Amino acid sequence: MGSVGVLILFMVIGAVICAKARVAGGAIAFSLIALVMFIATPVGSGLPDAIGTFVAAFDQAATPALGRTQQAGVAGSGS
């Protein structure tokens, strides 16, 4: 599993080459394979949890604004 970093690098380079050649399908495929390989490594294993935490925090911040509700303890018009 020591060569996974090299394989990820080749996948990123392949995605860039496909993007430069305007081959969208190839660029997407290379990018997805690189992402799956990165998540399979010990360094990238925390990525899904980090994304989930970010999305949950964003949802908590956006829900009151979208629902036009006000959280308790927030000052109204500043008076």
What residues contact residue 12 under an 8 Å CB cut-off, 6+ apart? 30, 31, 34
pTM score, whole prediction: 0.63
Structure confidence at residue 74 (pLDDT): 56
Tell me the H-state helices in the chain: 4-20, 24-40, 47-66
Q: What is the mean pLDDT of each run of 10 residues along the chain (79 residues)?
A: 81 93 93 90 86 89 71 56
